[in-house]
């Protein structure tokens, strides 16, 4: 359902806007999940919000990637999904290490910090893209 919503939003608004929104939604999910160690409701809400952000971002990023060469969508998708799963494996490794050292607060804190960095990088990239056109 979230991927379908992300696809429609990408068609209407463009992928850069939806990707920025997705980064913000995932960061919000990390904020919600920060309270999940004491609240089942925050855990459920955080997981749902996280899934919405990730799925919308996935579809929007695929749209941008496929736009590079529409005739190579199969190869692009293979590379994109390989990179996605590699990133997930790296994230799982880091979060396991971080959980052992800093607990849940360390993991959610890293998620929030990475979300802020991603938003800043995305905004900076948009400024460069806008000034080049």
**What does the domain layout of the chain look like in residue ranges?**
2-132
From first to last of its 133 residues, what are the pLDDT tens digits of the chain? 777 888 888 889 988 999 999 999 999 999 999 999 899 999 999 999 999 999 999 999 988 888 889 899 999 999 999 999 999 999 999 999 999 999 999 999 999 999 999 999 998 887 666 555 5
φ and ψ at residue 28, rounded to 5 degrees: -60, -40
Cα dihedral value 116, 120, 121, 125, nearest 10: 150
Q: For helices 15-34 and 73-132, what crossing angle results, to 10°?
A: 100
The Cα–Cα gap between 106 and 25 comes to 19
């Amino acid at each position: 359902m979230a991927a379908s919503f992300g696809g429609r939003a990408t068609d209407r608004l463009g992928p850069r806007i939806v990707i920025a929104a997705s980064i913000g939604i995932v960061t919000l999910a990390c904020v919600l999940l920060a309270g999940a160690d004491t609240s089942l409701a925050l855990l459920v809400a955080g997981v749902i919000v996280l899934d919405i952000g990730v799925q919308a971002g996935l579809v929007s990023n695929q749209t941008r990637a496929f736009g590079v060469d529409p005739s190579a969508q199969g190869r692009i998708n293979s590379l994109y999904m390989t990179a996605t799963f590699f990133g997930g494996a790296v994230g799982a490794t880091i979060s396991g290490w971080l959980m052992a050292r800093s607990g849940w607060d360390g993991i959610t804190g890293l998620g929030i910090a990475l979300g802020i960095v991603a938003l800043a990088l995305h905004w900076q990239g948009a400024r460069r893209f806008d000034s080049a056109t």
